[in-house]
């Protein structure tokens, strides 16, 4: 405590010199701080943007497409097509406890949708109600998604993508209105809540019509699913769920559970892991660029500290002659360097945060696809911690080396210095 008070005292007595150079140094540190904050904020914004985009498809889901066996199994030859039925969804749920939720999906392209004089050929899908949560297809206020009753009664109800609803009905609220789907009248029950979808299969969710799977089967005479969507209970159990599902379906359709071609799996959990790794890499890259800029500022601090120490050699010699221990002198020099870095850091953080806020405000106003993808620059706690830690480290190092040099000479030599 006494040592600290002493160091502060010596620091205060020394800090009044070289004002202009000090301002330049503080500016360099501020500049570096602004750079690192902006880069990391944009990285964070991009990361969050990608995360919401990922949620557009559905979180932690697996999608299965039908394939052909590659291996002969149980006396059956290779090359048999494997086709799943709607009841296989129930089979999956019943026999694989690691599957939390599952839904079947059937597709048909170019189905004519007619509202009055507007006719469009669009994609129609038939789904189980669980599809809503799996594929984040929530209805806008005033509407609903396909439900169990629709499925059981094979109701002629349709849920529209938001873009499609606009194309068919314009500004009017389509809920409750009648739409001709392949010449059959359907009641619109809901419109998709606008969402950002970055990955998709067969087109975006906002440009298609969704009907109950049972209705789809009856209308279009389909038996087989186009694909099956499921979600494991936890992401960690994903591989187990997949293996058990292959075993259950393999037993039913008599294919080798190790046959990778019988069914195709799109595992978005794996994708997310990969994406995460890429994002971490990107953030590290941005961080390193920012850190390098900041370190250049740190070199400036070290430079001014070396100059200050040289300038004050005699003064330091006097202090040593009067009995200052090494720690008092190094401490006051390091403190000075930390103070410079701290001042630069405060200015830099202030400017950086302001720029981020201005950019975010501009972005909220100007709607553009590219800007939306880039995301809103965001300052997070880790960014703040990284920046402050780096600043502290730079301050310490930039002070330590000049300080070490200052106390490395004999007091007699320091006193002789002119």
Partner 1 sequence: MFGNGGNGRNGREKQDGTDDGAIIALTGIRKVYDTGAVKVEALRKVDLEIRRNEFVAIVGPSGSGKSTLMNIIGCLDTATEGSYRLRGEEVGGMSIDRLADIRNRRIGFVFQNFNLLPQLTAFENVEMPLLFKGVPAKDRRERVETLFEQVGLADRMQHRPVELSGGQMQRVAIARALACEPDIVLADEPTGNLDSAAGSDIIGKFEELWAKGHTLVLITHDGAIARRTRRIVHVQDGTVVDDAPAA
The answer to whether residue 310 forms part of the interface with partner 1 (CB under 8 A) is no
CB of 406: closest distance to partner 1 in angstroms? 13
Q: Which is nearer to partner 1, 94 or 321 (CB)?
A: 321
Q: Which of 74, 141, 171, 322 binds partner 1 (CB under 8 A)?
A: 322
Q: How far, in Å, CA of 11 to CA of 26, rounded?
A: 17
- Three-class SS of residue 145? coil
CA 235 from chain centre, in angstroms, equals 17
Exposure class string for 59-74: b at 16+ Cβ within 10 A, else e: bbbbbbebbebbeebe
Put residue 61 in one of left, alpha, beta given phi > 0 → left and psi -120 to 50 → alpha.
beta
| Tokens 């899908």, located at residue | 125
The answer to whether residue 319 forms part of the interface with partner 1 (CB under 8 A) is yes
Q: Which of 13, 118, 199, 310 binds partner 1 (CB under 8 A)?
A: 13
Q: How far, in Å, CA of 279 to CA of 241, rounded?
A: 27
**Taking contact as CB under 8 A, which single stretch among the options 170-178, 183-191, 318-326, 396-404 is the one that binds partner 1?**
318-326
Exposure class string for 276-295: b at 16+ Cβ within 10 A, else e: eeebeeebeebbeebbebbb
The pattern of x and - marking residues 14 through 33 that bind partner 1 according to CB under 8 A reads: x-xx----------------
104, 129 Cβ separation under 8 angstroms: no
The answer to whether residue 376 forms part of the interface with partner 1 (CB under 8 A) is no
Q: Which of 9, 83, 194, 223 binds partner 1 (CB under 8 A)?
A: 9
**Taking contact as CB under 8 A, which single stretch among the options 54-62, 79-87, 386-394, 403-411 is the one that binds partner 1?**
403-411
The answer to whether residue 4 forms part of the interface with partner 1 (CB under 8 A) is no
Q: Which of 325, 354, 358, 364 binds partner 1 (CB under 8 A)?
A: 325
CB of 16: closest distance to partner 1 in angstroms? 6
The answer to whether residue 226 forms part of the interface with partner 1 (CB under 8 A) is no
Q: How far, in Å, CA of 275 to CA of 353, rounded?
A: 27
**Site residues, partner 1 (CB under 8 A):** 2, 6, 9, 13-14, 16-17, 314-315, 317-328, 407, 410-413, 415
């Amino acid at each position: 405590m006494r040592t600290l008070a002493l160091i502060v005292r010596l620091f205060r007595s020394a800090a009044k010199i070289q004002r202009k150079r000090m301002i330049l140094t503080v500016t360099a540190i501020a500049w570096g701080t602004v750079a690192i904050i902006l880069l990391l904020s944009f990285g964070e914004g991009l990361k969050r943007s990608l995360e919401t985009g990922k949620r557009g498809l559905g979180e932690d889901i697996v999608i299965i497409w039908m394939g052909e066996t590659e291996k002969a199994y149980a006396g059956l030859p290779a090359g048999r097509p494997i086709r799943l039925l709607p009841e296989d969804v129930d089979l999956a749920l019943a026999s694989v406890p690691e599957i939390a939720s599952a839904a079947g999906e059937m597709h048909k392209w170019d189905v004519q949708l007619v509202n009055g004089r507007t006719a469009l050929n669009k994609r129609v899908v038939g789904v189980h109600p669980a599809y809503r949560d799996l594929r984040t297809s929530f209805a806008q206020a005033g509407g609903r998604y396909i439900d169990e009753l629709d499925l059981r009664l094979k109701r002629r109800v349709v849920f529209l993508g938001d873009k499609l609803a606009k194309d068919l009905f314009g500004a009017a609220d389509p809920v409750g209105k009648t739409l001709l789907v392949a010449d059959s009248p359907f009641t619109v029950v809901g419109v998709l809540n606008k969402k950002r979808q970055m990955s998709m299969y067969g087109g975006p969710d906002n440009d298609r019509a969704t009907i109950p799977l049972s209705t789809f089967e009856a209308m279009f005479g389909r038996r087989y699913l186009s694909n099956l969507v499921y979600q494991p209970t936890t992401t960690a159990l994903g591989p187990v769920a997949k293996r058990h599902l292959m075993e259950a379906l393999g037993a039913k359709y008599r294919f080798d559970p190790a046959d990778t071609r019988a069914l195709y799996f799109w595992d978005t959990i794996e994708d997310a892991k990969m994406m995460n790794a890429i994002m971490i890499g990107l953030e590290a890259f941005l961080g390193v660029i920012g850190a390098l800029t900041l370190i250049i500022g740190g070199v400036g601090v070290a430079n001014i500290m070396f100059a200050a120490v040289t300038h004050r050699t005699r003064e330091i010699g006097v202090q040593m002659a009067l009995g200052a221990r090494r720690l008092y002198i190094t401490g006051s020099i390091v403190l000075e360097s930390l103070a410079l870095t701290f001042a630069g850091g405060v200015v830099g953080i202030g400017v950086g945060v302001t720029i981020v806020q201005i950019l975010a405000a501009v972005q909220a106003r100007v709607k553009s696809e590219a800007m939306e993808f880039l995301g809103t620059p965001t300052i997070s706690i880790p960014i703040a911690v990284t920046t402050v830690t780096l600043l502290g480290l730079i301050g310490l190092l930039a002070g330590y080396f000049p300080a070490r040099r200052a106390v490395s000479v004999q007091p007699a030599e320091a006193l002789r210095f002119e």
